Structure 1
Amino acid sequence: MLKKLKILAVFSTLGMLLLLLGGALVTKTDSGDGCGASWPLCHGQFIPTHLTVETMIELSHRVVTGIVALIVTIFAFACWKYIGYIRETKFLSITAVGFIMIQSLIGAANVIWRQSDFILAIHFGVSLISFAAVFLLTLLVFEIDKKFNAETLVIDKRMTLHTVGIALFSFFVIYTGALVRHTESSMVCNSWPLCQSGILSLPNNMYEWIQMGHRIAAGLLFLWIFYVMYVAIKNYKNEPIIYYGWITAFILITLQVISGAFVVFTNLNLIIALFHALFISILFGVLSYFIFLISRSKLNKENAEKFYKSKKMYPITMEK
């Protein structure tokens, strides 16, 4: 049964990634109206007689959403049944199914009633939460054989605060990026990293503020992750999952920034734009895993003292 559960876990995670990219494709190709104001049918039909590119993209996304939602629901139920004794399983199962349903309802509400760009920008973030829950459930399934025991990790308070802060701030960066797409602010600035070539003035309108706000937030996230990677390399050489995990996070945020720049340089090249969405999705999954590790980490006084002494660090907050 464990082998089947692992296969289902992999399909669920890959399905969620496909769903995220499908949603990004709908937004980036302006295919949200591809099925008109009809939902769940498309132009009032199961298969429309007149198929445009936009209709095919929107209809395909709806079909994929339905299939992935079914797979994730089966996966969550199986996890609840077979590994429900693990502390995080039930919460992650409910989160995975709940947020994929919320994501679907937000999409349906936009088709039927039309939502503001600021509400629609939440759509991608909601999908990411569902993806993160499925990803963590997958890791729980693969953790059953105890080849890696997260509970043996020792994560200090500084790393904990930085990790939680970065995870929360990354969600804000994701929201601003989605807002750029939904407000069609992607090309309001004709250069990068500044909005206008050779001009150091403030943005002139709301769309430029949205675009530059996202760039500044992404830049701050890049610097923050770089710093934490430095801390991890310096202090966590004996914890490979933290050491290499933060190196991976830095590689992903670097690719995210580079792909964002090339979106501008290539005038919204679709493939690059989809990679831009893919990198941030994987990065959010990695950050979610760090939060999971923190919840598993048991930093008691004895382990903390050993950790700090091994690094010759003596924080003033530690009791003697």
Structure 2
Amino acid sequence: MKKDRYFRLLSLAAAAAVLIVVLMGTLVTNTGSAYGCGHNWPLCNGQVIPTAQVHQTWIEFSHRAVSGIASILVVILAIWVWIRLKNVWEARFLAISSVFFIFLQAFLGMGAVVWGQSSVVLALHFGISLLSFSSNLLIAFIVCEETLPRARRIIPPLHNGMTWNFILLGIYTYIVIYSGAFVRHTESSLGCTDFPLCNGHVFPEPLISKAGVQYLHRLLALILLVWVILTLVRCLRNYQNAPSLSTILFVSLILVLLQAVSGIFIIETKMALIFLLLHALFVTGFFGLLTILVMLGLRHYKR
């Protein structure tokens, strides 16, 4: 049906728009553009469309504009999902969460501009952005399942242990991501200026320092990498009849490795912007794939 085609396109457009918002947020942070529009919101330096030629102003203004477009797409999609997929409980739940997270994300961004925020809240802002993207990615996944010709609902034959493994892996990943955002917002990205050592030492000296903050993030990321590898190996051995799981995990592993490589290049290039953006892109994609695994696991658990 033609309407279903538009439905799929809107779901993909909403997910893509939120992804762009996440990346533009990273661009704003790493170009020092957070106050490109001053302490004004929703106006930019008191203007609807800024006239200043400073690039930080246009980066922040563009971020706000894209966020506004993404919010409109998310709301329209949520209403359409509520009407078209009224019998799919996952879709309705995600429709509500997508709207909630996109506006919570906007509120935290506004608060950071108007009132100023601590590094903890700024890190949380990135975490909320990931939840916003993941909600819309899951909606797009469900919409394609429900509307594509010959598509079918995926319910892999998982044991409860693997379902809980996906859930705990997702929670742990969120913690790792939060630690990475905290590294950035405490200006600890170059706390360790080399890799794999930390300023020439196996352990940072002193431990309670910017080097210690980055070292903790490295350690958490290493555990995450090992966890993903072990999960992939287990799926390849025990769930050969569910190739979709191994495929998602294999792509996830690639994204984790790319994220690690981009993190190394952030250090080696003294925080080159391209690697900062790639680092955010890879971790956002990885977390989105993990939420798909969690959803598939919960489907079997609830069946």
TM-score bracket, normalised by the shorter chain, equals over 0.9
Are 1:100 and 1:127, in contact at CA under 8 Å, matched by a contact in 2?
yes
Q: 1:266 to 1:201 in 2, by over 3 A?
A: closer
Q: How does 1:260-299 map to 2 (within 5 A)?
A: 260-298=263-301
Q: What does residue 152 of structure 2 align with? A: 148
Q: Distance in 2 between matches of 1:98 and 1:79?
A: 15
Between the aligned partners of 1:100 and 1:193, the Cα distance in structure 2 is: 37
Paired position in structure 1 for 2:260: 257
**Aligned counterparts, 1:151-166, within 5 A:** 151=155, 153-166=156-169
Residues 121 and 182 of structure 1 are in contact (CA less than 8 Å); yes or no, is this contact kept in structure 2? yes
Confirm or deny: 8 A CA contact 1:188 1:207 kept in the other structure: yes
8 Å contact kept, 1:150–1:297: no
8 Å contact kept, 1:79–1:89: yes
Instruction: Work out the number of aligned pairs and report it.
Output: 299
Q: Quote the offset at 1:236 in angstroms.
A: 1.4
Q: Secondary structure at the match of 1:51?
A: coil
- Alignment RMSD (CA, Å): 1.5
Q: CA-to-partner distance for each residue in 1:34-78, whole Å, 9 max, x for gaps?
A: 111111111111122322111111111001000111011111111
Partner of 1:226: 229
Amino acid in the other structure paired with 2:166: T
Report the counterpart of residue 117 of structure 2 in structure 1.
Answer: 115
1:170 to 170, 173, 177: 173
Tell me if structure 1 keeps the 8 A contact 2:204–2:212: no
Pairwise CA distance, 1:148:
3.3
Contact map agreement 1:155 1:299 (CA 8 A) in 2: no
Q: Residues of 2 paired with 1:188 and 1:201: CA distance?
A: 9
Structure 2 CA distance, aligned partners of 1:91 and 1:108?
A: 26
Tell me if 1:137 matches 2:151: no
Query: 1:58 is matched with which residue?
Result: 60
Distance in 1 separating the partners of 2:173 and 2:256: 10
Classify the secondary structure of the residue corresponding to 1:150. Answer: coil
Alignment of 1:1-320 (within 5 A): 1-144=3-146, 145=148, 147-151=151-155, 153-298=156-301
- 1:311 matched residue in structure 2: none
Report the 3-state secondary structure (helix = DSSP H, G, I; strand = E; otherwise coil) of the residue aligned with 2:151.
coil
Distance 2:21 2:206 in 1: 34
Taking structure 1 as reference, are residues 54 and 299 closer, same or farther at Cα in structure 2, changes over 3 Å only? closer
Aligned AA (1:2)? D
State how far apart, in whole Å, the 1-side matches of 2:170 and 2:206 are: 28
Q: TM-score, normalised by structure 1?
A: 0.90
In structure 1, runs of 5+ residues without a counterpart are: 301-320
Is 241-250 or 66-75 further displaced after alignment?
241-250
Inter-partner Cα distance in structure 2 for 1:224 and 1:203 = 29
Q: Normalising by the residue count of structure 2, what TM-score does the alignment of the two structures yield?
A: 0.95
Moved more, 141-150 or 168-177: 141-150
Which structure has the bigger radius of gyration? 1
- Letter aligned with residue 118 of structure 1: V
- Cα distance, 1:189 vs. partner? 1.2
Mark the CA change 1:142 to 1:50 in structure 2 (over 3 Å): closer, same or farther: same
Alpha-carbon distance in structure 2 between the residues aligned to 1:76 and 1:206: 44
Per the TM alignment, residue 10 of structure 1 is displaced from its structure 2 partner at its CA by 1.2
Deviation at 1:263, TM superposition (A): 0.8
